[in-house]
Structure 1
């Protein structure tokens, strides 16, 4: 007989990926895979509690400084940690420092929860991924090694063919759509030992005719104007999209719906 895991609390740690961009709700807030996962877990566990400490734009050093100790003190059944990818996308990235900080985070979080969950983040197919692929894969090697040493689970989103499909990425080309986040929630759900609700989340999407040349040029221009140039501007001025923003859901409280 199939039994469900008995997890009664979840704390999510990370950056925009865990905050839920770009899974936009009608009120202008973001939902995302962590909220979806919490909703599923809460539906099966009375009194289920959830906190999401993620803030967009955070580097691994900021995650360690601002989120890790807070998460560790919550004594949750499950903690998810996804960080370091923003570092790998910077023109200058000290991968030794990223490794050391991620190690520090895992060593702090693993003993403080029932189950630590790490991820190999998804990557959108295209020239941006190709440019940064070596750093990303180096980061994922660190994730795999830390998981083995500290008993953490790894959710391999990078290896999922479906999540590389540009159709599952928002117009900013950095964040997943609502459907992308749904698939991530399913992946984590299954990795935690729950019975699958979608056994094909990782499979390639059905082929559709690609957009024409003119449509691609319009999309490229919009991407550059609305997302690429502002991103470059923040890098040049040392600013972040998450500056001044509080955690998405800063307290471990009963979960009844979106934050």
Structure 2
């Protein structure tokens, strides 16, 4: 069973949406690590992910440190930040993802990556970006098949676009969403006691009326979308000045570093 797990990526892997910066972030990678730790007393875990990172930054700043830790398991989740920009090169994003997956696989690690859900269902104002995400998902499947990568195909399951598993910012999973992604990853790795129950739809609920839906869209745009766009226009990132929360392999019980 896996003994050295390293997670690389951006805010989802850092755990944004599951806890906070005061009490600490957990996130799906931490939750997956807890499952792995229960299977191996020698288990060690590092999380190099930092919010706001573009895929070139993940490649430049996290790949080599990950390789130096000599992991036997690595999760690579990056590229969505690039695709949500007004201009992006989907082919270049996929090529960079493949470079990381190839390097880690050749180093002997079992690699896991993901596809992305229908963001138009999560945030209707972001629907215009969905075609590029659909195309990217196709490339991810090709990369995974080529390199024998475990793939968490969240785009195939409507529950992954259910707003009830997303934070109010609609950019990050909430605690329920992080728990679901951890379970999905465990299933992709065929860990003991994992199954496909994570993919089952949530109980149905009444749809909100038009006025309430319209108000929620306006409020979301004012509170979350406008600040996000402003950071893009000013060249700033939510990850500026931040470092990895778990830069070294250590038992899961070991406290994370100060940020």
Task: Specify if TM > 0.5.
Answer: yes
Corresponding position: 1:195 with 2:192 = yes
Q: How far apart are residue 191 of structure 1 and its match?
A: 1.1
The verdict on how the C-alpha distance between 1:87 and 1:52 changes in structure 2, with shifts beyond 3 A counting, is same
Aligned match of 2:68: 73
Which of 172, 176, 179 matches 1:179? 176
Q: How far apart are residue 226 of structure 1 and its match?
A: 2.2
Extract unaligned runs of 5+ from structure 1: 1-5
CA RMSD of aligned residues (A): 1.9
For the 8 Å contact 1:39–1:256, the answer to whether it is kept is no
**Deviation string for 1:5-35 (max 9, x for gaps)?**
x111211010011111111159432211000
Aligned residues: 254
Q: How far apart are residue 134 of structure 1 and its match?
A: 1.5
For the 8 Å contact 2:187–2:196, the answer to whether it is kept is no
The verdict on how the C-alpha distance between 1:197 and 1:191 changes in structure 2, with shifts beyond 3 A counting, is closer
**Deviation string for 1:213-256 (max 9, x for gaps)?**
55435433432232111101101011111111001211111111
Q: Which moved more, 1:168-177 or 1:20-29?
A: 20-29
Distance between the aligned counterparts of 1:26 and 1:59, measured in 2? 21
User: Which secondary structure does the structure 2 equivalent of 1:244 belong to?
Assistant: coil
Aligned match of 2:155: 158
Q: How far apart are residue 140 of structure 1 and its match?
A: 1.5
Aligned match of 2:50: 55
For the 8 Å contact 1:39–1:257, the answer to whether it is kept is no
Which of 79, 92, 102 matches 2:97? 102
TM-score by length of 1: 0.91
For the 8 Å contact 1:19–1:55, the answer to whether it is kept is yes
For the 8 Å contact 1:72–1:113, the answer to whether it is kept is no
Q: Which moved more, 1:158-167 or 1:60-69?
A: 158-167
User: Which secondary structure does the structure 2 equivalent of 1:201 belong to?
Assistant: helix
Aligned match of 2:145: 148
